[in-house]
Amino acid sequence: MAKSKTYTTQLKRKIRKKTNYKKRLSYLKSGKIRLVIRPSTNNITFQAVEFNVDGDNVLNTTKGKDIKRIGWKYSTGNIPAAYLTGLLFGTKIKDTIKEGVVDLGLYSITKGARLPAAIKGIADSGVNINYDESICPSKEDLSGKRIVEFAKKLATEKEKYEKQFSKYLKNNLKPEEISKQFEEVKNKILGNKNETTK
């Protein structure tokens, strides 16, 4: 128990480690729309958030499941899905939001992982954001070609192959075709804007 009269009780979200208020203040000072990215094990969520004194105003929300609606059949928790969801999110907001600041909350960047893939997707949609290209996954990782290469190598060991890709095989999906589907969905996002903004 604090006895000092000058003691200030910390905000609940800070105590629970849900909000970094120093970071949040820097985002707000930028005057730009916050492009919030929150990953989970099997999904990723994007939100365009505008500050308002009465409470933040969410302008758009896009989730990994949204790319399922335009043909993506594989996991929404991998690098290609993070990129595609970021690309879809960007195409939805780019006509109204020309520039934004990426808000990762308490998450930190790991080079070549899902978060930089998601950021790359937003940037490739045409939304102006400040990011370091060197942190992004390679084209092979983004497109799923790395998964295809791994699947082909593992195919000679049937037991390991079936264990590694059990979820895909259960749904009659071939891991060797993930990069092909990546290109199909990417082209739909970039080419059929009216379809993706519904």
- Cα gap 76→68, rounded to integer Å: 8
List the 100-103 sheet strands across, edge first: 57-63, 43-50, 33-40, 100-103
Name the CATH code of domain 18-196 (choices 3.30.420.100, 3.40.30.10, 3.90.1150.10, 3.40.50.12240): 3.30.420.100
Nearest alpha-carbon partner for 48 in 142, 122, 132, 133 = 122
- This prediction has a pTM of 0.82
Nearest alpha-carbon partner for 78 in 64, 99, 98 = 64
DSSP state of 109: -
DSSP state of 197: T
pLDDT at 160: 94
Burial of 44 (C-beta count, 10 Å sphere; 0-12/13-18/19+): buried
Which stretches in the chain have pLDDT values below 50? 1, 14-17, 193-198
The string of pLDDT tens digits covering residues 28-49 is 666 789 999 999 999 999 999 9
φ, ψ at 192 (rounded to 5°) = -115, 65
pLDDT at 108: 85
Query: Tokens 């929150």 map to which residue?
Result: 38
pLDDT at 190: 94
- Cα gap 180→92, rounded to integer Å: 24
DSSP string, 46-105: EEEEE--TTS-EEEEEEETHHHHTTT--S-SSSHHHHHHHHHHHHHHHTTT-SBEEEE-T
pLDDT at 46: 98
